Structures are given as C-alpha cells and as structure tokens.
Amino acid sequence: MYIEDLKFSLWCDFVERSFLETEFVDLINAGTINGATSNPAIFKSAILTSPAYKKDIEAMQDLTPKETYEALAIKDIKKAAEKLLPLYKKGDDGFISIEVDPFLCDDANGTIEEGRRLFQQIDMPNVMIKVPATKAGYVAMQQLISEGINVNATLIFSVEQTKHCLEAFKAGSASCQASVLPKAVISVFVSRFDRMLDTKLAALDLPVSKVGIYNALNVYRLIERYALSNVRCLFASTGVKGDALEADYYIKGLLCKNSINTAPLATIKYFIQQSCDNNVPKEEEIELFFDTIKKSGIDVDAACDALMQDGLESFKVAFQEILETLSSYKR
C-alpha cells in the first residue's frame, strides 16, 4: 500500500516492455506502486513506438494481426504479473489488467470466451480481465467472477453503471466455487468530466474542475456501502491535461480509504514528491454542488452517456490502428 493507514494503493497506468524490466521494478521495490493497468490506447503507444517489439513482430509472420497483438500483450502482461507476484502473495494488491477486444463490448459470450482464454493463457493468479461496463459487460463480469477470474470493470462514469457492476460481482461471487474469492475493481473515470464540462461551467460562473472528483466520490461511496469484501473502487483517468491544475490534482482529491488510483507515470512521479493531505469533500458539499449545476442546465447524466460512448470509441480506434499497423508489417 502506498498509504498503509488508508489502505490506499497507487497503480501505474502504463505498460511497455523495456520499462517493465527497469523503472517498473524500481517503483515496486521502492513501495511507490503495487499494481498496474493497461488498455488498448496504452498498448498502441507501446507496440507502435517502442523498438522493443520489433523482433517479436518479425517472428510472427504466420499470425493474424490480432493474434500478433495478443501474443505481444500477453508477453508483457505476464512479465508485469511476475514482477508484481511477491506483492500479490503477501496480500498487497499486485495486480495487472489486460482488456478484452473493445469490439466485443456488446457481445457477452464473446467477452466471456476471450476473458477466460486470456486468463488461462497468461496463467498468473494476479491478472485482472478488463471488461467495459456495458449491458453485455455486466453479464460477462458476473460469469468471469463466478469462474474465479479477477475482473476490472472499466469505463465507469455513472452511479447507475456502478450499481450494475456491483450486482454482477455480488451474484458472481455468490456462485463462485473457488476456495478464495477472485478480486474485482470498479474503475471510475475522473478527469474526462472536467475536460468536457469546465468550459460550460466557467461560462456560467460556476466552479470548475469539480465534477470529475465529486462524481467519482459518489461512485466510491456506493461501492463502500455495498461492502463486498472482494470489490474495491479504482480511480482511473487521473492524469491532468495542460497547466491549469497541479499534476497530481486527481490523486490528492481522491485519497480515500480502501481505494486505488491508477495514474500515468509522470503523474505518479510528481505526486510522490508532494505532501499527502487528505481533504476529501463531504457528501453534503457534493450534493449541493450537483444540485446547483443541475439548476443551471448542466446535465451530468448526459455527460456520462457521452463520455462512455467516447471511451468505447477511442479504445476501438486505438485497437484498430494497432491491427492495421501490424497488418502492414506482414510480408
């Protein structure tokens, strides 16, 4: 744990092969991070820009682009899982996530089959299968948890999505026959709200850079009220764009008990140099804020829906670009 008395964990939102052999290990050994996450956009940046993958890609000429991508991703995720395994064994998180094909977001059976296959192929107990919070995703989450597979519910923007995830995890855990319940996290995205709404709020002379944190806290408190022993809240998308906010703004504002924050590497480096004051807003303050902006015509529910669709689309685009580039490498 990065902050033991809060049971607050810091995970790195970055995976790249050479990094996993060097700085990643240093961050684990220093007690800075105790987990990591990945997504199609992260793998796109790593696979298409880092020379560390060139030899492997050249050796995979007989594979389809998706098979090539999976082989590369599985190798990295397994390596990360091995580095994190000592933390997992002592109960200090130690998880790494891999996301299913984003084009399966509306296909429950396809998501289940791919999640099951990826978990089996990586063959490490500290891997989480990342599943988007769609209608099909909730079905897949319940089934995967029931089979003893750790799940990271991703692209969470609303309390409504959170309820569906919690019910899926509750039902899946109840039917799970594993000797130890698998773990699950509910990844609520934070900073994207403010990038979408701050201009509108400023034009109405309302406080800016609040929606992301306040919405995430509503999600967090619902998760805590459910009190499922194997489910925690993970604050995602906590990097800052531009210079208007401190780099660690979305970490400091969400220093909550029993929570996880997964942040970009640069954000983590900044945060660990600063003081860790805990000034989490109260529920009453959050309720008053949302009531005020609602009366001013700001529709947060519509923003949740739009951000969810944007998130799905961005992961699909990143995934497709990986496949197209890998296809161009084939002779």
pLDDT single digits (tens) 107-144: 999 999 999 999 999 999 999 999 999 999 999 999 99
Confidence of residue 330 (pLDDT cuts 50, 70, 90): low
Q: Do residues 186 and 153 make contact, with C-beta atoms less than 8 angstroms apart?
A: yes
Confidence of residue 188 (pLDDT cuts 50, 70, 90): very high
Position 323 pLDDT exceeds 80: yes
Residue with the bigger pLDDT between 278 and 156: it is: 156
Residue 259 has pLDDT above 90, yes or no: yes
* The pLDDT value given to residue 54: 87
Quick: pLDDT tens for 192-240.
999 999 999 999 999 999 999 999 999 999 999 999 999 999 999 999 9
The percentage of residues in the chain with a pLDDT greater than 70, rounded to a whole number, is: 99
CATH for the stretch 4-329: 3.20.20.70
- Residue 299: the pLDDT is 97
Mean pLDDT to the nearest integer, 149-176: 98
Report how far residue 146's alpha carbon sits from residue 10's, in angstroms, rounded to the nearest whole number: 27
User: Which of 50-54, 105-109, 219-223, 285-289 bottoms out in mean pLDDT, i.e. has the lowest?
Assistant: 50-54
Interior angle at CA 97, CA 196 and CA 308, nearest 5:
25
Whole-number pLDDT of residue 331: 57
Q: Which two tokens stand for residue 239?
A: 């990097």
pLDDT at 95 over 60: yes
Neighbours of 239 (CB within 10 A): 20
Residue 2 has pLDDT above 90, yes or no: no
Distance CA 300, CA 157 (A): 10
Cβ–Cβ contacts within 10 Å for residue 295, how many?
Answer: 8
Contact in structure between 331 and 61 (CB atoms under 8 Å): yes
State the average pLDDT over residues 279-301: 95
Task: Output the pLDDT for position 177.
Answer: 93
Active-site annotation holder among 44, 83, 90, 130? 130
Q: Residue 184's pLDDT band (boundaries 50, 70, 90)?
A: very high
**Contact status, residue 127 vs residue 99, Cβ threshold 8 Å:** no
Contact 36, 124 (CB under 8 A): no
Indicate if 75 belongs to the active site: no
Tell me the average pLDDT across 177-193. Answer: 96
DSSP 65-100: HHHHHHHHHHHHHHHHHHHHHHHHHTTS--EEEEEP
Q: Mean pLDDT throughout 175-182?
A: 94
Q: Residue 256 pLDDT more than 90?
A: yes
Domain ranges within the chain, ordered by starting residue: 4-329
Question: Where is average pLDDT lowest: 54-68, 192-206, 285-299?
Answer: 54-68
Please state which of the ranges 45-49, 154-158, 208-212 shows the lowest mean pLDDT.
Answer: 45-49
Average pLDDT over the chain, rounded to an integer: 95
Q: What confidence score (pLDDT) does residue 278 get?
A: 73
Residue 277 or residue 179, greater confidence:
179
